[in-house]
Amino acid sequence: MHLPLRPPQIQFPSSKMQTLYNNYLESTDLMIREHDAMEAAGIMMAISLSIYKTSMNENDYYRIVDSIVASKDRIQTFDPPVIQ
């Protein structure tokens, strides 16, 4: 049985970003219901990096990738699901 993801509490600077996060989380939850979580995560990472590389100049792209790697110890896990 798959239970919905319970994301860490994140404060966003705007309701638009909160909505985008919620929509992305909903889509992610659907993907891991139907596919292996590691495969889904790898594909999302590849797509994210492609978006960055397409949208940024080379210097900014490498800065964001370095920033992602540097923050690896600050990444939050999902909370365990609550069974009711």
> How much is the mean pLDDT over the chain?
85
pLDDT computed for residue 22 by the predictor? 84
Task: Produce one character per residue of 36-71: b if its CB has 16 or more CB atoms within 10 Å, e if not.
Answer: eeeebeeeeeeeeeeebeeeeeeeeeeebeeeeeee
pLDDT in tens, 14-55: 999 988 988 888 898 888 888 888 898 999 999 999 999 999
pLDDT computed for residue 84 by the predictor? 56
pTM of the full structure: 0.72
Q: What angle separates helix 37-55 from helix 15-34, to the nearest 10 degrees?
A: 140
pLDDT computed for residue 1 by the predictor? 44
Cβ atoms of 78 and 6 closer than 8 Å: yes
pLDDT computed for residue 73 by the predictor? 93
